[in-house]
């Protein structure tokens, strides 16, 4: 049953009344009805729960920067100096210090648009029915898809790096080719252990992996292929999880081989934390 939506935006009402002659609107209450319909559509768009794209699952989102900001500045610090053995009454102690630098990044806005024809608005006004929110959902989806793309691969034109091509992303030599029938479960497990160790070693114990992102076909290889530990056979997935239960495994189709990534599958082991991004 149709439920009357009572709220409306004064700006929408003004726009509707300005187009009143073309819409066939003669009274303000008719204009208010259409303004309510526009508000209804916007409300429904924000209320609908959309499937979370994997880009925002892999990359944590920070909400520290206010919406009105045009740029934001972050600071990085490095420690310099070292201690040494000294004698009594020594006055030549080595100096240690903290060196900091600032980086400022420009923020970019995203946008698209949708609209209704005069006929659609006349029909809604005449029939007393809701305007379809489908166009609005498509507009919202387009924004979500762009955010997802930037999170994963960045945008070179605007100077953004993505999750898979950031220059600070380290690489580790592994056997790879996990879907190849000739690749054994033990080789895959050794690759995973090498990736885990690389994060800890390259960061000098400052970071401990808590997330493994990989393509769905590579995740299937982890579940399908087995390793033998003391006569006990189990899947690579089960074995790795028993060793490192704190690592969350996320499968993302965007990490499958494609023209965008040189037809190579990507697997990333990392510490998922907003301070690392």
Q: Lowest-pLDDT range, 10-24, 202-216, 219-233?
A: 10-24
Cα–Cα distance, 152 to 57 (Å, whole number): 10
Q: Does residue 251 carry a pLDDT above 60?
A: yes
- Please tell me the predicted confidence (pLDDT) of residue 2: 43
Look up the pTM and report it.
0.70
DSSP H helical ranges for 79-213: 118-127, 134-153, 185-202
3-state secondary structure of 65: coil
> Each residue of 144-186: pLDDT tens digit?
889 888 888 888 888 888 888 888 788 888 888 999 999 999 9
Q: Does residue 219 carry a pLDDT above 90?
A: yes
- Please tell me the predicted confidence (pLDDT) of residue 34: 59
Give residue 69's pLDDT band: very low, low, confident or very high (50, 70, 90).
confident
Cα torsion 157, 159, 163, 167: sign: positive
Cα–Cα distance, 80 to 91 (Å, whole number): 19
Cα–Cα distance, 164 to 266 (Å, whole number): 8
Q: Does residue 48 carry a pLDDT above 80?
A: no
**Are residues 103 and 3 in contact, defined by beta-carbon separation less than 8 angstroms?**
no
**Are residues 202 and 194 in contact, defined by beta-carbon separation less than 8 angstroms?**
no
In angstroms, the Cα distances linking 91 to 88, 94, 95, 117 are 9, 9, 11, 83
- Please tell me the predicted confidence (pLDDT) of residue 4: 52
Domain boundaries, the chain: 10-57+117-153, 65-106, 185-276
Cα–Cα distance, 256 to 267 (Å, whole number): 9
Cα–Cα distance, 158 to 111 (Å, whole number): 15
Mean of pLDDT values over 215-237: 94
């Amino acid at each position: 049953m149709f439920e009357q939506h009572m709220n409306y935006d004064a700006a929408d009402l003004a726009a509707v009344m300005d187009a009143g002659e073309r819409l066939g609107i003669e009274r303000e209450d008719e204009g208010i009805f259409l303004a309510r319909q526009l508000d209804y559509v916007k409300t429904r768009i924000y209320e609908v729960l959309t499937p979370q794209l994997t880009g925002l699952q892999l990359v944590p989102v920070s909400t520290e920067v206010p919406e009105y900001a045009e740029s934001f500045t972050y600071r990085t610090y490095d420690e310099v100096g070292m201690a040494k053995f000294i004698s009594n009454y020594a006055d030549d102690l080595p100096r240690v210090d903290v060196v900091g630098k600032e980086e400022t990044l420009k923020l970019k806005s995203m946008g698209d648009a949708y609209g209704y024809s005069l006929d659609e608005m006349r029909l809604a006004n005449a029939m007393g029915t809701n305007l379809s929110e489908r166009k609005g959902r498509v507009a919202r989806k387009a924004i979500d898809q762009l955010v997802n793309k930037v999170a994963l691969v960045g945008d070179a034109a605007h100077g953004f790096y993505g999750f898979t091509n950031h220059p600070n992303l380290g690489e580790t030599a592994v056997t790879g080719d996990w879907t190849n029938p000739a690749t054994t479960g033990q080789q895959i497990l050794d690759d995973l252990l090498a990736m885990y160790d690389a994060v800890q070693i390259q960061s000098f114990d400052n970071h401990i992996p808590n997330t493994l992102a990989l393509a769905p076909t590579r995740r299937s290889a982890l579940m399908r292929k087995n390793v033998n530990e003391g006569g006990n056979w189990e899947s690579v997935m089960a074995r790795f999880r028993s060793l490192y239960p704190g690592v969350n495994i996320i499968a993302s189709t965007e990490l499958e081989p494609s023209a965008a990534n040189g037809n190579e599958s990507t697997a990333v082991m990392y510490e998922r934390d907003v301070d690392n991004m």
